[in-house]
Amino acid sequence: MKEKILITGAAGFIGSHLVEELVNQGYRVRAFVRYNSRGECGWLESSPCRKEVEIFFGDVRDYESVRRAARGVEVIFHLAALIGIPYSYEAPLAYIRTNVEGTYNVLRAALEEGVARVVHTSTSEVYGTARYVPIDEDHPLQAQSPYAATKIAADQLALSFYRSFGLSVVVVRPFNTYGPRQSARAVIPTIITQVLAGNGCVRLGNLHPTRDFNYVRDTVAGMIAVGLAANTVGRVVNIGSGKETSLKELLTHVETITGRKITVEVEKARQRPPSSEVDRLVCNNRLARELTGWFPRYTLIGGLAETVRWFEQNLHLYKPRVYSI
């Protein structure tokens, strides 16, 4: 059998898709899930791979539970993090404890338990508003939110363990991932859920930023390709489509797929502070292609169509008329 892999943040949006893909590829997977008294494991509860996955309940902020989870595994994919940007304005210390201290716990546990490799998940938010496009891995880092600041710290901490202690670390840096199971805090689920709920007017925040959207299956494929490649240790590698999409283009695509006309109302509560908004993100994915041969296979229209179909079947799990940070 293939290696045993630990995935932190396994019950979340990207994490649950990563679990399923690794199981489908024949890996033995241990899913690190945040402890709760109900014994629930998030999106893995209804996963077709649920019975094939070892569930480990713990908290990345607790070193001892992380070390026990790391025992006997060859690779760790570290995804556990607080990711909501608006909430990072309200509770920055919580982001430091989860994103920075949690990453430290994973790295230290990997070192102590002899884990062969740690694949650390970054985010394109660490670049801030693009100074040039497309954004490559040498682009300056600029924290425009407490969330981004903690992710920069976590990335650098991971790389320091590679340089200081010889821990095999790979930093994968996905751009804006979307798809089934995503939180409605993100712009694509926000639009889709409001449209499917019959809202005559979709409420959004800032309308001018552009993004590089990636379907979750492409993101997961990139994470595996980059994370497990022999020639990526000690590297930061972008995962993105290389295509820039405006909000206007995105709305037009959703209109086409759903057959519903969309009007937009800007809601102040959904807007970031002006200096905190990242205005432009578009990925240079050349390094990922050169090192691993990975490239995105889904078009934005194709990925959105699959996403809309999933939300049509699972709209009852969301609250389209409620804005939650």
Catalytic residue among 95, 104, 127, 147: 147
In whole angstroms, give the CA distance from residue 200 to residue 136. 40
Distances (CA, A) of 11 to 23, 44, 309, 314: 14, 6, 21, 17
Residues in Cβ contact with 115 at an 8 Å cutoff, skipping those fewer than 6 apart:
6, 70, 73, 74, 75, 76, 109, 167
Provide the β-strand partners of residue 28. 4
Active site residue 147: yes
Q: Given CA atoms 249, 253, 256, 261 in this order, what sign does their dihedral have?
A: negative
The amino acid present at 80, given as its one-letter code, is A
Number of other CB atoms surrounding residue 39 within 10 Å: 10
Number of other CB atoms surrounding residue 220 within 10 Å: 25
In whole angstroms, give the CA distance from residue 272 to residue 81. 20
Report the DSSP pairing between strands 117-121 and 169-174: parallel
Catalytic (active-site) positions: 147
